[in-house]
Amino acid sequence: MSTAISQPLVAAPKISEPAAFGRVAVLMGGTSAEREVSLDSGRNVLAALRARGVDAHPVDGIAALLEALSAKRFDRVFNILHGNKGGGEDGVLQGALEAIGVPYTGSGVLGSALSMDKIRTKQVWASEGLPTPKFARLRHGDDMRAAARALGLPVFVKPSCEGSSVGVFRILAEADLAQAEAFAAGYAGELLMEQMVVGDEFTVGIFGDTALPSIRIVPAGEWYDYHAKYIADDTQYLCPGLEGDDEATVRDLALRAFRAAGCSGWGRVDVMRDRRSGFQLIEINTAPGMTSHSLVPKAAGQIGIDFETLCWLILETSFENAGVAEVRER
């Protein structure tokens, strides 16, 4: 018989007055492959913060933000950029903001840079004894077919440093590799090949030191691809995705994985449950989507945190503990 677990505890808002945040840049868009998803997320966050009276303004991309900050037009940044190379999840933005002393939401330089790189994240997890599917690192020009034979089909092939299911290939038979090889020929970065996990798919939102209720993802099609994530209306999201000890286990694993990668603030950890080997860690997202299809808002809603409150709480994470006291004294 499974043991029931209590709902996660998320602290009540520490700041009561929107003016305490000052002028907030909602950083969205950018130049990564995930630009359109980021714009959608950013519009939702902007509307939520403004509805709570926050002096929030949209800023499209890192270059525009740095120009605005040099003119001292903003006091802090709500980062909802997605991806790397012009997205705000690879540590570059975080390093720039820390260098000029501007507070921001989400993970710092290390957590952002490490978790953006799926291969290095899995290497850290493996060193910590955390479960993750067997994988191979593919440099430009490496023999993809040899790697697939060594791992054993079926496998997934994906860019190590992209998100939102960009450039992901599901390889069931060796003939399926042709499309992935064509993509690899024109892609300069490293690719991750990992053994396919056969079983249920889950995601766990992280807020501070709390793992939110898990979500089990049930796509109408064979797998959870870009269409199922952002377009389809027939994908099912079951929250909480598990019960009792299983739910406690997946939340604990997600929180351990998040911390091991040096992440902080808020984020999301994707997990699969293999029918034979149990839970397997897949990847971390340090600036999860905030669209109508996004999962962290769904999990927060399960414990009574509406979208506007969630955005407020995330914005609060731009303060360190001492910083909150200083703001309250203004």
**Which residues, 6 or more positions from 218, have their beta carbon under 8 angstroms from its beta carbon?**
235, 236, 237, 238
- Provide CATH 3.40.50.20 ranges for the chain: 18-106+306-328
Classify 134-196 by CATH class.
alpha beta
Q: Is the pTM of this model over 0.75?
A: yes
Residue 84 pLDDT: 82
Residue 224 pLDDT: 54
Interhelix angle 144-151/177-185, rounded to 10 degrees, is 130
For residue 219, whether the previous peptide bond is cis, meaning omega lies within 30 degrees of 0, is no
Residue 87 pLDDT: 80
Handedness of CA 134, 249, 162, 113 (dihedral sign): negative
CA–CA separation, 290 and 42 (whole Å)? 7
Look-up: residue for tokens 């191979």? 136
In CATH, what number does 18-106+306-328 get?
3.40.50.20
Query: Which of the residues are catalytic?
Result: 34, 164, 230, 268, 270, 283, 285, 289
Query: Residue 276 carries which side chain, given as an amino acid letter?
Result: R
The torsion of the CA quartet 11, 16, 22, 24, rounded to 10 degrees, works out to 50
Which pair of tokens denotes residue 172?
């069931």
Residue 33 pLDDT: 80
pLDDT in tens, the chain (330 residues): 344 445 456 778 899 999 999 999 999 999 988 899 999 999 999 999 999 999 999 999 999 999 999 999 999 999 999 988 778 899 999 999 999 999 999 999 999 999 999 999 999 999 999 999 999 999 999 999 999 999 999 999 999 987 656 688 999 999 999 999 999 999 989 999 999 998 999 999 999 999 999 999 998 766 555 555 555 577 899 999 999 999 999 999 999 999 999 999 999 999 999 988 999 999 999 999 998 888 999 999 999 999 999 999 999 999 963 333 344 333
Residue 10 pLDDT: 79
CA–CA separation, 121 and 258 (whole Å)? 10
Q: Residues of 98-116 as b/e, b for ≥16 C-beta within 10 angstroms?
A: eeeebbbbbbbbebbbbbb
**DSSP designation for 19:** G
- Provide CATH 3.30.1490.20 ranges for the chain: 134-196
CB 296 within 8 Å of CB 302? no
Burial zone of 255 (CB within 10 Å; 0-12 exposed, 13-18 middle, 19+ buried): middle
Residues facing 292 on adjacent strands: none
Residue 323 pLDDT: 38
Residue 221 pLDDT: 63
In what helix (H) or strand (E) does residue 97 lie, and over which residues does it extend?
A: helix 92-100
Residue 136 pLDDT: 97
